[in-house]
Copies of this chain bind each other. A is one copy, B any other.
Amino acid sequence: MRPVSIVGTGRLPVQKSCDKSLREMGAAVVHLAMRDAEVTEVDALFLGNMLSDELQGQKHVGALIADEAGLRGIEALDVRAATATGAAALRLAYLAVASEQADLALAVGVERMSDGVPTSVLAKALDAEREVVNGATLIGQNAELMRLYRKKYHVPADAFVNFSLNAHNNAHNNPYALFKDKVVTREDILNSRVVSYPLRLFDCSPICDGAAAVLLAPTAQARSLSHHPVRILASGVATDRFRMSDRKDPLFLAASHHSALKAFRAANVHRDDIDFFELHDAFSIMACMILEAVGYASPGEGWRLAADMEISHAGKIPITTLGGLKARGHPIGATALYQACEIVSQLTGCAGPNSLISPEIAMMQSVGGVGTTVITHIFAL
């Protein structure tokens, strides 16, 4: 297969409510990513969006945004994997370039969650006939996981606080982060209201609007398009049993484990080679379980990486280095493209005051549903 690199990025600041329409948001980041690489044409656009069917009454979003962006005639397809949708768009753009079916392919994510009440729409990531019919929601199932985790591993009540604190600290110098100006203390987190016991408000990523895009090209041509191209070393997807209740151990995220293994193998790297990890901290418990599934901590010990601040820039495995889903925001279909843009900025030394010191290899992971689909990508300069 043909090696693939990122040669351009574009993103809008994450907002509670963006004053652009869905199509305008998409076209804006398409233009930013293309301008970044100084190209005026692309071959294909893969669009990630999860909620527009219901919230905007709009399907066929990829073609709509291609038209709005003035990209006449190109391939445009919609791709999805529930809450991992942005990473699915990245993967399919990667397949298009790797297979030589496209030389320049955009992965675009856009989500406007402010146009309605997304909770019941998000729940469609779960099993409509066997879970949602009984009242299941994403937040409820994550609360159940935290309850199970706390019970099984006897962790203290404040075990997860630093996931949120680290994310908010790291969002401060990220101009695209929803909570870039918010000062959050340990007490704010511990005293925040219970949303779904035992999940508190600060355990949960926010509802928001956002759009982001990356432009992919063959690695062999990347240097002619970008001063700082970033190689995609690997892309791996795995699924678990669809319903949490069908899994032998719901506290082990098998799809996170297996998609990371696939990616490590393809990239020929070990998890200890990863300099930072943009993971899917939609809920603090999910961040904790991902660290365990990928092997950075033993079962029941993931929270200690947070408690000991091994997840900070100076720690063993820095995560959510520019705010993560918690503090940058989680506009679903766009989230993984924000992660990819942030990884490019870190690897190329453009992350501002939040820059890591000379990182070389980065990993990102996106979770669809409650651990059902997990998509892992590995990047390097």
Contact = CB atoms under 8 A, between A and B. Distances in A.
Interface string A182-205: 000000000000000000000000
Contacts of A237: 44, 75-77
Contact of A80 (B77, B128, B239, B246): B77
B373 A73 contact: no
Given A1-B99, A54-B53, A60-B82, A76 B239 contact: yes
- Copies of this chain per assembly: 2
Given A76-B373, A82-B63, A95-B96, A124 B242 contact: no
Interface residues of A, number: 64
A52 B255 CA distance: 24
A287 to B, nearest CB: 21
A255 B73 contact: yes
A21 interface: yes
A259 to B, nearest CB: 8
A100 B124 CA distance: 32
Contacts of A129: 21, 23, 58
Contact of A369 (B63, B127, B368, B373): B63
A101 interface: yes
Contacts of A67: 239, 241-243, 246, 372
A92 B101 CA distance: 11
Interface in A313-336: none
Contact of A92 (B2, B66, B77): B77
10 contacts: A58-B127, A59-B82, A63-B81, A63-B239, A67-B241, A72-B239, A73-B240, A75-B236, A75-B239, A77-B92
For the complex of A and B, list the 9 residue pairs with the smallest distance between their C-beta atoms, beginning with the closest. Answer: A99-B99, A75-B237, A67-B242, A98-B99, A60-B82, A78-B80, A59-B124, A95-B95, A58-B128
